[in-house]
Amino acid sequence: DAKTTQPPSMDCAEGRAANLPCNHSTISGNEYVYWYRQIHSQGPQYIIHGLKNNETNEMASLIITEDRKSSTLILPHATLRDTAVYYCIVRVPRMDSSYKLIFGSGTRLLVRP
């Protein structure tokens, strides 16, 4: 059922950009890519999502390759509070017309002072 592959861990310096990669080579044309993060002992928090085009919001940017087989989440100026596990997720349609979020294994991002 796995749809995404992520590196298990990364680190970056505070104030620098954090670029988190995700491979989703089997993604289908109508399946969205979502990113959530989970800070220790809390529930996952929505960051951003996209289908084909690059997306930006107040938290992050999402860059999706033209072939849609991979994407990168960019936190432009990482802070210590961005230390968390980041999940790359594919939303897949089900036969009953609903959808299911398929979580990747997550990347543990450590932001260093």
The 8-class DSSP code of residue 31 comes to: P
Task: Give the chain's length.
Answer: 113
Give yes or no for residue 52 binding another protein (CB under 8 A): no
How many CA atoms are closer than 13 Å to the CA of 55, on its beta-carbon side?
Answer: 16
- Three-state SS at 95: coil
Tell me if 112 sits within 8 A of 13, measured CB to CB: yes
The binder of another protein chosen from 106, 107, 109, 111 (CB under 8 A):
106
The binder of another protein chosen from 7, 19, 55, 99 (CB under 8 A):
99
The 64-93 contact track toward another protein, x by CB under 8 A, reads -----------------------x---x-x
Nearer to another protein, 4 or 70 (CB): 4
Other Cβ atoms less than 10 A from the Cβ of 63: the count is 16
- Residue ranges in 20-49 that form contacts with another protein under rule CB under 8 A: 32, 34, 36, 41-46, 49
Report strand pairing: 45-50 vs 84-93: unpaired
Judged by the rule CB under 8 A, the positions of this chain that interact with another protein are 32, 34, 36, 41-46, 49, 87, 91, 93-94, 96, 98-101, 103-106
